[in-house]
Amino acid sequence: MKDKWLMIGVGATFLAFFLMVVSMMSLSRHSAKNKELLAQIPATPQQPVPAAVADFSLYKTVVGDDGREMIEIPEGPFKMGGKDGDYDEAPEHQIYLSTYYMDKYEVTQAEYERFVKMTKRGKPFVPVFDDDPSKILKPELAAMGMSWLDATAYCQWAGKRLPTEAEWEKAAKGEGSRKYPWGDAMGPKYANLDGEEDGFKYLAPPGKLEAGRSYYGLYDMAGNVAEWVADTYDDKYYAKTIYRDPKGPEDGQNKVIRGGSWRESPNGARIAKRFQAKLWRTDATIGFRCAKSGP
């Protein structure tokens, strides 16, 4: 009888072991199949992480003589230029700027038209535009088609001046390190660049892209219209610039343009990117905003 129960016990043990092996083989086959099916599912494209919501009320806002809002850019140092961009963006260097104010928005066509009527200055001229010019000639859109001389005259009329290149870059970047005014990721609702993903085929009314505000809360520091600044262009200037409140080379007909435009790629909208043009050039992609020295 003992031998009989022993044989039954051995058989039961063997059966349990056999069932366990079969079960493990089945799970293994299912696991491999699941991996195969998962591999066939297309990956979800990674979207840029939106910039953190900043409290722009921390920075003082004033109203200029022309009735336009300006934001105070506080005194202090920042890093100008970049390490991985074009040769004229190097070397990255420390600059110290005194307090100044910068227009919150790019100058609009309506605001520039008021200046033209009051001063009898010539109207903006756009020599080349591939489509119907009426599509970019609207009062609410960013002003464009004026030369560096015109932009300088407007700012002087408004009791202001064009920003220096260093002032423009600090207003876009802040005191940290970032690729674009809002951060390092690019998305369709940050800047009005080439294409229509941002919602605009050509120019946009300044201030429409909330997500693209700069460190200090300025709008459209990347895209829409590229912006004249005060400095004469020098591709080697960063290697010899002074530390405090640099104003750029004094002489020269080629003036610096910053910020990229509605015709630019994301690369052209980088904060550190530098453009240049003759001071009399006019274009459908070039506009401006003004600055004012602090107290």
- Report whether pLDDT(262) > 50: yes
pLDDT (tens digit per residue) in 192-250 = 999 998 999 999 999 999 999 999 999 999 999 999 999 999 999 999 999 999 999 87
Q: What separation in angstroms does the CA of 2 have from each of 8, 10, 13, 15, 16?
A: 10, 12, 17, 20, 21
Question: Which residue from 219, 222, 201 is spatially nearest to 267, judged by alpha carbons?
Answer: 222
pTM of the full predicted structure? 0.81
Beta bridge partners of 259: none
- In percent, how much of the chain has pLDDT > 90? 69
pLDDT (tens digit per residue) in 58-97 = 788 999 989 999 999 999 999 999 888 899 999 999 999 9
pLDDT band at 125, cuts 50/70/90? confident
CB 225 within 8 A of CB 202: no
- Report whether pLDDT(47) > 70: no
At residue 295, the pLDDT reads 85
At residue 58, the pLDDT reads 78
Q: What is the mean pLDDT of the chain?
A: 85
> Among 47-61, 69-83, 98-112, 116-130, whose mean pLDDT is lowest?
47-61
At residue 53, the pLDDT reads 53
At residue 188, the pLDDT reads 84
Please state the rounded mean pLDDT for residues 108-120. Answer: 97
DSSP type of residue 190: T
At residue 5, the pLDDT reads 37
pLDDT band at 51, cuts 50/70/90? very low
DSSP type of residue 7: H
- Report whether pLDDT(57) > 60: yes
At residue 16, the pLDDT reads 44
At residue 133, the pLDDT reads 85
Distance (Å, whole) CA 248 – CA 91: 15
At residue 71, the pLDDT reads 98
Q: How do the domains of the chain map onto residue ranges?
A: 56-293
- Report whether pLDDT(6) > 90: no
Q: Half-sphere exposure (CA, 13 Å, Cβ side) for 256?
A: 28
The class of domain 56-293 in CATH terms is alpha beta
Distance (Å, whole) CA 248 – CA 260: 20
Q: In this structure, is the dihedral angle defined by the CA atoms of residues 76, 89, 126 and 140, taken in order, positive or negative?
A: negative
Phi-psi region at 259: left, alpha or beta (left = phi > 0; alpha = psi -120 to 50):
left
